[in-house]
Structure formats: structure tokens, C-alpha cells
Amino acid sequence: MNRNYMRSETFEGTFPFKPNFKEINGFQMHYVDEGSGEPIVCLHGMPTWGYLYRNFIEVLSKNYRVIAPDQMGFGKSDVPQDKPYLLKQHIDNLTKLLLSLDLKDITFVGQDWGGPVMFGFAIDYPEKVKRLVIMNTAIGIMKEGAKPWYYELEKRGKYEKFFSNMKEKIPKLFQTAIYNKEKITPTMLKAYTTPFPNKESCIGAVAWPRDIPIGNSHPSAEAMLHIRENLDMLADKPKLLIWGLKDPVFPPRVIDWWNKIYPGIETHKIEHASHFLQEDAPDKIILWIEKFLENNP
């Protein structure tokens, strides 16, 4: 299924960027490509899209080339009904897109599922990666029998119904995933709910939470383990860790985990930010990224 109905949608001018499309693995993948210079690739997670980085694109594209893809099933990208919405597929989609754009000296910015997907590319193509900005994400496999954040929905048999109705559920999700409620505007809610008019359009949203690997027999355990075991390949890359401390999905203790993986990583904490810290504190984060880029030429 395509999303032609929103291809040229700017959401009242809040997303004024030219839409670009490339056929990747049999579907049309949308991406923003603004500015020139060293590339910054911004990756979203669940259930957002490139709109999450609209403020970043506007500011950073003045001095850099900013690319913000919509992952398969999200934003302005198509929603194939016959694809495995698994981590390795998302990584392969991104890999084919970035290789087709012939990028080098990439600075990645990734949050939520954008984290594993960007690392999936980066460990296989470390020579193309220059810097990494890591925000509210993690790499790893949960222990067999562990209870993920959506556990109660599964237990009550309401998982499918919940994630198949993103149009209605996103405003409710944002009540916990965005700390500063005044940031949740009607235009923003329209931008995030428009990709999900019906059940078929939500297939990616249904798949992504369940793709969190629980136990080594999970379909995405192998791909996640491959990333986890090769994170040291990026040890010499400059890294910036930015964290919203009110995140119910990735609590502050995950900061300590990243500091063990990459000792001495530059870390910034945002007290009044939740899971979607890009919405809670965009100006602050953009300033930190700009300084990080300047300090690591």
C-alpha cells in the first residue's frame, strides 16, 4: 500500500521539505535530503517518521546535508503487506538507500528503533561512518521470559487492536512519550496520525514492538546479537549520548550501559524530556549536536 495521499503534505508548512523517493526492496522509500556538505542521517523509531526531525533538518541543513528516511511502513514510505518487518529488513532497506546515495563521512542521529538500525549499517560499513549521536535507544536481547513494555497489552489480548489503530492511539501514547504537553499541538498530532488511516497502514506499527528480541530464539535475536558483538568496531568514532530522563521505555539506567560500552562518551541529560526528546527539547539537542560536530571535525 502506498501513501500517495500525503506525498506533498507539509502539515501547515511545518514540514516544508521536498519529498524524495527511491525504490528499495520493491517498495517506495521516502526520505528528506536537504542542504549540502557532510551528511547527517537522522533515523526515527516507532511510531514516528522524518517529521520528528523537522527542526533538526531546518537548522542543520544550513551547513550540512541532512537526510531523514522514513523507514518501511512509516511516514510517507510505502507499507508493503508482504514483507517481514524485522530488524534485518529495516537495516537492509537503510543500507540499500545509503549506498545508492553514495554517502561517506556520515554522522548518524538515531533514537528508539533508529538506534539498532543505524548501528546495523555502521558496524558493516564503519569506513563510511564518521560520528554517532545516540538518543534514548538500546542494543541487546531481553532475557527469555522477560516482560517488555507492551506486556500488559499482550496479556489482556489487546495488542493487535491497540497497534492496529495508531490514528486513535498516538495521541494517548504521546501523553507519556512527550513530557512537555504544550508541545503536543493539533498540527503535530495530524502529522503523526495521517500515515495511519486504517488497519492495513499500521502493519509496521504492529510489528515493531514485537520485534524487540526476547530470548535467543526470537527472529531478530541473531541480527541484534551481531550488532551487540560488533559495537567495538565503532569504538574510535566520536560519539554523543543525549537522554530524556522521563522516558518510560528507556530509563536513565540505560545511560550507564552505554557508558560501559563506550567509556567516556560525551553525555547530556535532559531532565524535562521523555521518549520523544526531539519534540521535548529540539533547540537544546540541536545546539549540542552543532557543538559536537564542530569539536570533532
Smallest CA-to-CA distance from 110 within 291, 16, 250, 256 is with 250
Q: What angle do CA 289, 290, 293 make, to 5 degrees?
A: 85
Looking at this protein, which amino acid is placed at residue 226?
Answer: H
Binned at pLDDT 50, 70 and 90, residue 281 comes out as very high
Q: What is the pLDDT of residue 100?
A: 98
What pLDDT, on a 0 to 100 scale, did the predictor assign at position 168? Answer: 97
Residues 194-240 have pLDDT tens digits of 999 999 999 999 999 999 999 999 999 999 999 999 999 999 999 99
Q: Are 286 and 55 in contact (CB under 8 A)?
A: yes
Q: Which of 49, 98, 54 is nearest to 208 (CA)?
A: 49
Q: What percent of the chain has pLDDT over 70?
A: 100
Closest by CA position to 61, among listed 46, 48, 50: 50
DSSP class of residue 143 equals: P
Judge whether residue 149 has pLDDT over 90.
no
Q: pLDDT (tens digit, 9 = 90+) per residue, 66-83?
A: 999 999 999 999 999 999
Q: In this structure, are strands 65-69 and 106-111 parallel, antiparallel, or unpaired? A: unpaired
Question: Given this model, what pLDDT does residue 258 score?
Answer: 98
Q: Indicate the helix (H) or strand (E) that contains 236.
A: none
Question: For the chain, which domains are there?
Answer: 4-295 (3.40.50.1820)
Label residue 60 by pLDDT band (50, 70, 90): very high
What average pLDDT does this structure show over 107-133? 98
CA-CA distances (angstroms) from residue 6 to 117, 175, 191, 196, 227?
A: 25, 25, 10, 11, 34
